[in-house]
A = this chain, B = another copy of it.
Amino acid sequence: MDNFTFYSPTYFVFGKNTEDQTGACVKRFGGHKVLIHYGGGSVVRSGLLDRVKKSLEKENIPYVELGGVKANPRSGMVYKGIELARKEKVDFILPVGGGSVIDSAKAIAFGVLYDGDFWDFYDEARPVTEALPVGVVLTLAATGSEGSTDAVITKEEGMYKRCVDGDILRPLFAIMNPQLTTTLPPYQTASGISDIMAHCMERYFTHSKEVETTDRLLEAVMLTMVKEAKRVMAEPDNYEARANIMWCGTIAHNNMTGVGRIQDWGTHHMENELSSTYGCSHGAGLAILFPSWMKYVMNLDINRFAQFAVRVWGCQMNFEDPSVTAREGIEAYQNFIHMLELPTSISEIGGKEDDIPALAQSMFHNAPNHGNFLKLTEDIAKEIYRMAL
């Protein structure tokens, strides 16, 4: 196990009707004037935005608002948010939504305090060390951004989708009411599930030795997801399945399950090109790529893939030929993706073989390092994209 530090000072408020505590949480964490940030009309239509505002008003906390964040959030909205936050002198950013809204809010939060272009941090992969405080009202179990240190934004000029990181980007509080997720369209629910599984797998496939604790914790999250995903696809308004999935989404990515081990993240980086090019959900892109990545890398550690098959998917170990078991695990994961009715190939989302060189080139633009289980080159990325066609 490698040396590590772990610091997750987010106050999680989890359960039914917890959005009514938003104002009290902003007050507890010292906010005096709030920028409410959100996406499309669903938070308006559902009445959630009104309930959040009422909760702020109850604590006499003034706010301004900025809606309109799209999935795969873009730099243009971040610039707009920074300008508004400065003009209105807000000291607290309150995203109400899913990962896209939260990431846009995080970028605004550190952009406000930075004199230059916020994109510098993305371009130079510079760690973020200063930001306005962020508190979250979560409406989608997926990215784990409500508890994580990162924020993914797409730069409109060039459509580069990149990630920054910093302990300061962990939200101070996260209000998580699983009821808010019961009305999501199946594609969004499924995309979120795929993302949560991917956050586990990016950590699971490692060459780090002696990491039994985090192996078992990652398996715990994945086993729960295997049970609950099936249930939620059949019964979208099952609160208990939604609740288990929502908490899994957080602990899959606040890094509690990933400490002390080298993580991969190559597939996430390859996926960024799919969602920014074809507009698919991040989770759908991950579902398309992971089986191909797995097949490409499995021979680097057959026993790890066999462990994944046995412990997560309940496959029988083939002691004569563990590679049989390893392949069964990948198949089981593919069946899981089928059950979620997510796309399974790049063609399905509109991609063609001719696009592949540009995807790989964009991925490596100003960004040479991808993957640790296998360090990716442009040629390897192209090959994996081709396998996923």
Do residues B1 and A210 form an inter-chain contact, with CB atoms below 8 A? no
Which residues, 228 to 266 on A, are CB-close (under 8 Å) to B? 228, 240, 243-244, 247-248, 251, 256, 259-260
Chain B residues in 8 Å Cβ range of A211: 244
Do residues B212 and A260 form an inter-chain contact, with CB atoms below 8 A? no
Instruction: Digitize A140-157: 1 where CB-to-B-CB distance is under 8 Å, 0 elsewhere.
Output: 000000000000000000
State the 8 A-B residue pairs at the shortest beta-carbon distance, nearest first.
A3-B15, A9-B9, A216-B220, A210-B240, A220-B220, A6-B12, A1-B243, A7-B11
Given contacts A212-B244, A220-B217, contact A11 B5 (CB under 8 A): yes
Do residues A15 and B4 form an inter-chain contact, with CB atoms below 8 A? yes
Shortest beta-carbon distance, A244 to chain B, in Å? 5
Q: What are 28 A-B interface contacts by the 8 Å CB criterion?
A: A1-B15, A1-B244, A1-B247, A3-B14, A4-B14, A5-B12, A6-B11, A6-B14, A7-B9, A7-B12, A14-B260, A209-B240, A210-B240, A210-B243, A212-B227, A212-B228, A213-B220, A213-B221, A213-B247, A213-B248, A216-B219, A216-B221, A216-B223, A216-B224, A243-B260, A247-B259, A251-B256, A256-B256
Shortest beta-carbon distance, A193 to chain B, in Å? 14
A70 at the interface (CB under 8 A from B): no
A316 at the interface (CB under 8 A from B): no
A8 at the interface (CB under 8 A from B): yes
Known contacts A2-B15, A217-B251; can you find 9 more A-B pairs with CB under 8 A? A1-B240, A210-B244, A212-B227, A212-B228, A212-B244, A213-B224, A217-B217, A243-B260, A251-B256
Do residues A14 and B5 form an inter-chain contact, with CB atoms below 8 A? yes
Do residues B5 and A8 form an inter-chain contact, with CB atoms below 8 A? no
* C-alpha spacing A223/B12, complex, angstroms: 27
A16 at the interface (CB under 8 A from B): yes
A18 at the interface (CB under 8 A from B): yes
Shortest beta-carbon distance, A245 to chain B, in Å? 9
The answer, among B209, B244, B260, for a CB contact under 8 Å with A247, is B260
Shortest beta-carbon distance, A311 to chain B, in Å? 9
Closest B residue to A17 using CB positions: B3
A13 at the interface (CB under 8 A from B): yes
Closest B residue to A238 using CB positions: B210
Chain B residues in 8 Å Cβ range of A260: 14-15, 243, 247
Which residues, 173 to 222 on A, are CB-close (under 8 Å) to B? 209-213, 216-217, 219-221
Chain B residues in 8 Å Cβ range of A243: 1, 210, 260
Chain B residues in 8 Å Cβ range of A210: 240, 243-244
Do residues A14 and B221 form an inter-chain contact, with CB atoms below 8 A? no
Shortest beta-carbon distance, A24 to chain B, in Å? 12
Shortest beta-carbon distance, A25 to chain B, in Å? 10
* C-alpha spacing A292/B227, complex, angstroms: 33
Chain B residues in 8 Å Cβ range of A256: 251, 256
* C-alpha spacing A7/B11, complex, angstroms: 5
Chain B residues in 8 Å Cβ range of A5: 11-14
Closest B residue to A240 using CB positions: B210
* C-alpha spacing A210/B224, complex, angstroms: 11
